[in-house]
Structure 1
Amino acid sequence: MNEYFVKKANAVLRYNDFPGTEQPILFIHGLGCAGSFDYPQVAAQEALAKHRCVIVDLLGSGYSDKPNDFGYTVQEHAEYLKEFVESIGLESFILFGHSLGGAVALSLADQCRERIDRIILSEANLDKSDEGSSSKYIADFDRNEFLKNGFRELVEESRNSGNQMWAASLSLWSPRAAYLICKSAAKGQQPSGREVLYSLDCPRTFIFGERSLPDADVQVLRAHGVTIEIVENAGHSMAWENPQGLAEAIQKAIQA
């Protein structure tokens, strides 16, 4: 694993950097997840093996530091990632973001449009958090109650309901980091992620898991020139459920 010091947060971002001769791909994971937990198995697939794959654990998650005085908004995550990609020399790269990490990816894309070769999103947050989503569920908590009991109970409920993978990765998050990014997602961004996506000049792809369909956004996104890819035998957690299928969908997006 590699380290990058985030000056603004006085904290260390940790990331994998798998070598490759083809266009670099930056992977940004979703809520309760970690790049180191989700994407090595995707990057190792034959479809992506020739690409340099940079896989981050966002601050507050996985193996990265969890500073108590950082704001953890979508925008703040994107700001240090912009400095990060500059520091490791990503002059032109493919940007991938999953779920709430998609909101971070879109904010990052808006800040460094000239570096984005193409953007690939998997079931990403394009608007403020919907009712019924995990981020809205967390955001609706009283802050002190979530930090005291809500986070621990969410991990336990996930584990007891059979969602063992998410429980395992969520348990490594800072409760404060989870709460604050969810409050940011529930409030929404200006411009919205959807507006940023529609305004980007680069090729754009949105990936759905087959089990997440039907979804009205399939037609809406196509109408705005966004390519749609479907990962078979998977739902929202496609990196775990079908890593080969996700890698092949990313490959198709790159070749589109």
Structure 2
Amino acid sequence: MKEYIVDKMKNKMRYHDLPGEDTPILFIHGLGCAGSFDYPEVAAQIDLINHRRILVDLLGNGFSDKPDNYSYTVKEHANYLYNFVQDLSLNKFIIFAHSLGGAVALELANKCRDNLEAIILSEANLDKSIKGSSSYEFGTCKEEDFVNGIFDEVISETSSKNSMWIATLSVCSSTAISRISKSAVAGGEPSWRKILYSLKCKKTFIFGENSLPDNDQTELKKHMINIEIVKSAGHSMAWENPKGLAEAIKRGILYGRGL
């Protein structure tokens, strides 16, 4: 694992940088997750093995630093990732992002359009979080209440239902989770959906088979966005079918070639 100094306070983001000769892929995880936990098995699949694969743990998550004085907005995550890809000299790269990480990815994509070969999103946030989503439930709580009690209650009550997610959520900063969730509820300006539609690179949106039907499947096709489906998986497709997800990512990378 490597580390990258994010700011003048010497806060560090930690990441895996797996070698490969093909276009680098930057993996951005979702709410309460970590690239170091979610994506090693996906990145190790034969379809992606020749790509350089960069798996980040966003600040406040996984093995990265968790400062309480950081804003943790979607836009701020994108800002330091922009500096990160510049410092790595990624002149051409691919972004893969999942769930709320998709909003971070789209803010990042908006800042480095000329460097982007493709953006591949799996069940990503394109609009403000809505009632029923974890980010909405977390983001509509008072931060003090969430940090001082609700976070621990979520860990306790959800551990038997979704033990993989709780394994990563439990080591996240409760402050970070509260603040990025509030950012998700507020949404982006322009909206993340508008950013996606405006990008000129190759664009793919991935659904888990068990998450369908979804109205966005039809809506995204209208905007010429490639749709891929991972069989035998739902929202947590990186854990449920890592091989199928890797294959879907590769199809997104190859989309449009020879046409």
Smaller-chain TM-score bracket? over 0.9
Q: Secondary structure at the match of 1:96?
A: strand
CA distance in 2, matches of 1:57, 1:146: 22
Contact 1:126 1:193 in 2 (8 A): yes
1:194-227 per-position Cα deviation (integer Å, ceiling 9, x unaligned) = 0000000001000000000000000100000100
Mean Cα deviation higher: 8-17 or 114-123: 8-17
Deviation, structure 1 residue 9 = 5.3
What letter corresponds to residue 236 of structure 1 in structure 2? H
Q: Counterpart of 2:225? A: 226
Cα offsets for 1:66-113 (capped at 9, x unmatched): 011110000000000000001111111001110000000000000111
Structure 1 residue runs of 4+, over 2 Å off? none
Aligned match of 1:13: 13
CA contact (8 A) 1:9 1:70 kept: no
Q: 2:152 — aligned with what?
A: 152
TM-score calculated relative to the size of structure 1: 0.98
Cα deviation, residue 142, structure 1: 1.6
Q: Percent identity?
A: 57
The aligned counterpart of 2:52 is 52
1:72 is aligned to 72
Q: Is the aligned partner of 1:142 residue 2:117?
A: no
Kept after mapping to 2: 8 A contact 1:127/1:188: yes
Q: What SS does the corresponding residue of 1:26 show, helix, strand or coil?
A: strand
Distance 1:95 1:108 in 2: 9
Report if aligned partners of 1:9, 1:67 keep a CA contact under 8 Å in 2: no
Deviation at 1:10, TM superposition (A): 3.1
Deviations 1:106-135 (A, max 9, x none): 000001111111100000000000110000
The aligned length equals 255
User: Which runs of 5 or more residues in structure 2 are unaligned?
Assistant: none
Do the aligned residues in 2 keep the contact of 1:9 with 1:69 (CA within 8 Å)? no
- In 1: Cα distance, 2:134 partner to 2:222 partner: 28
Is there any run of 5+ residues in structure 1 with no aligned partner, and where? Answer: none
1:112-131 → structure 2 map (5 Å cutoff) = 112-131=112-131
| Structure 2 counterpart of 1:208 | 207
Matches within 5 A, 1:99-110: 99-110=99-110
SS in 2 for 1:90: coil
Superposed CA deviations along residues 34-87 of structure 1, whole A, max 9, x for unmatched, are 000000100000110111000000000000000111100000000000000011
Given residue 192 of structure 2, which amino acid in structure 1 is its aligned partner?
A: G
Which whole-Å CA distance do the structure 1 matches of 2:222 and 2:8 have between them? 40
Letter in 2 for 1:215: D
Q: What one-letter code is carried by the residue in structure 1 that aligns with 2:38?
A: D
Matches within 5 A, 1:162-201: 162-201=161-200
* TM-score (norm. length: structure 2): 0.97
Q: CA RMSD in A?
A: 0.7
Residues 212 and 81 (structure 1), Cα distance of their counterparts in 2 relative to 1, 3 Å cut: same
* CA distance in structure 1 between the aligned counterparts of 2:9 and 2:206, rounded to whole angstroms: 32
For the residue of structure 2 that corresponds to 1:63, the secondary structure is: coil
- Is the Cα–Cα contact under 8 Å of residues 135 and 185 in structure 1 kept in the other structure? yes
Aligned counterparts of 1:116 and 1:155: Cα–Cα separation in 2: 37
CA distance in 2, matches of 1:46, 1:110: 30
Query: Partner of 2:159: helix, strand, or coil?
Result: helix
